[in-house]
Amino acid sequence: MRNWNFLGFLCLAFVLRVESLKFRKSAQHVERISGSAGDVLEDDPTGRLKVFVYELPSKYNKKTVQRDLRCLSHMFAAEIYMHQFLLSSPVRTLDPEEADWFYTPVYTTCEYLTPHGHPLPFNSPRMMRSAIQLVASSWPYWNRTQGADHFFIVPHDFGACFHFQEEKAIGRGILPLLQRATLVQTFGQRNHVCLKEGSITIPPYAPPQKIQSHLISPDTPRSIFVYFRGLFYDKRNDPKGGYYARGARAAVWENFKDNPLFDISTDHPTTYYEDMQRAIFCLCPLGWAPWSPRLVEAVVFGCIPVIIADDIVLPFADAIPWEDIGLFVAEKDVPYLDNILTSVPPKEILRKQRLLANPSMKQAMLFLQPAQPGDAFHQILNGLARKLPHHHKIIYGDNYVLNWTAGPVGDLKPW
Ligand SMILES: *[C@@H]1O[C@H](CO)[C@@H](O)[C@H](O)[C@H]1NC(C)=O
Ligand SMILES: *[C@@H]1O[C@H](CO)[C@@H](O)[C@H](O)[C@H]1NC(C)=O
């Protein structure tokens, strides 16, 4: 069934459209602060902010990578590349007195990786505390604002909640020492304890060279209607089922495993990236966290992301017109995915595909090496620049007292 041509889909889409209009109400509301719809918000951070990069002993950053090179390519590698980028960025200042922002380069997801390469962040809170203590005792700037003009890259599943299971992450909450800091993280979900106001949501890291090497001709027909590769169940961490992906992935499998329009499987083929370039819709359901690298891959490969993650806050949502390029399906509507997708008007599909073809859309999703204007590094800087100037009262005079001993007792042990 992979050889269905696009025209076939269009006919089918037309036929099924009428029956399923009622399901089209399920789109989630995505907040967008500014930017013209249909284009990536153009913004140049140079000259709009100055960042001071703390120099820390290499055990907080470079040594962790030397110990485990897998950190350079996993989906959390933004913490490493952002550091490298800032060191040679024109926004860097060597004079902390003129800095708008302070950056502490600490690679918390590289601290410990399982033999399978999954970072377990159990020591991350202690590592982070240790870095903050060092910064606060060696320079006057942390105590001056109690971290309010400091930002941190915390790319793990639930950001600075430092646990991969949502329930546990919620139980932990954001590391108390980071109460005032700005967090730059992949995790984004509205009204969630692991996303505090003012955070900057970023895309996960996808290796740009690898993506480049798998590009096929943009004229290749998109003969796959719906594409997904990945887990439907996580038997090991969720033996009873229903908790992983809040059941949404299981519902995809149970409803559509035999549907010829759905090319879905747990197998991860070597042609994964090419297949996405041959697909019209790419499912991006939540997993343990609402986000996954599929979001980036779908955009980069021009496959319309079908976002199934209620209340997700998408990367750079103030700059990227997600509501125009993607499709939002409520978790509870997964059983109607076939109707929902086949009822998207062809005109709408073509419009989304055209927007996805905009190179600046792809650029914003990638941490390019070398960095390019408009790429993910620059989007982060734009996000930081848009938060300036810092509110004077918040910074210098609201009597906020940081509690250095708050949080789980285990986190207080030295790292
Ligand atoms: C900042 O405050 C902490 C905690 O009160 C203290 O241990 C540290 O010495 C202070 N740093 C400086 C540079 O005064
Ligand atoms: C700081 O947190 C600890 C642990 O939660 C608590 O026992 C203590 O009372 C707090 N201190 C202040 C000043 O709030």
Mean of all residue pLDDT scores within the chain: 89
Is the CB of 138 inside a 6 Å radius of any atom of ligand 1?
A: no
pLDDT number for residue 39: 57
Per-residue confidence band for 406, with pLDDT thresholds at 50, 70 and 90? very high
Structural domains present in the chain: 6-30+207-365 (3.40.50), 51-205+370-412 (no CATH)
State which ligand 1 atom lies nearest to the alpha carbon of 140: 13
Q: How far is the CA of 142 from the centre of ligand 1 (A)?
A: 8
Nearest CA to 342 among 18, 25, 4?
Answer: 18
Q: How far is the CA of 182 from the centre of ligand 2 (A)?
A: 22
Which one-letter amino acid corresponds to residue 59?
K
CB 175 within 8 A of CB 407: yes
Tokens of 92: 């860097």
User: What tens digit of pLDDT does each residue of 165-221 get?
Assistant: 888 999 999 999 999 999 999 999 999 999 999 999 999 999 999 999 999 998 999
Helices marked H in 36-192: 62-67, 78-87, 124-138, 141-145, 166-172
pLDDT number for residue 32: 39
Confidence (pTM): 0.88
pLDDT number for residue 236: 86
Q: How far apart are CA 155 and CA 168, in angstroms?
A: 17
Is the CB of 177 inside a 6 Å radius of any atom of ligand 1?
A: no
DSSP strand pairing (182-185 vs 51-53): unpaired
User: Which-ligand-closest: CA of 408?
Assistant: 2
Long-range pairs, 112-120, Cβ under 8 A, ≥24: 113/68, 113/70, 113/71, 113/74, 117/70, 117/74, 118/164, 119/71, 119/74, 119/76, 119/156, 120/164
Sign of the torsion formed by the C-alpha atoms of 146, 151, 154 and 158: positive
User: Which-ligand-closest: CA of 173?
Assistant: 2
Is the CB of 405 inside a 6 Å radius of any atom of ligand 2?
A: yes
Percent over 70 (pLDDT), the chain = 89
For the chain, the C-alpha Rg in angstroms (whole number) is 22
Q: How far apart are CA 268 and CA 231, in angstroms?
A: 10
Ramachandran category for residue 302: left, alpha or beta (phi over 0 → left; psi -120 to 50 → alpha): left
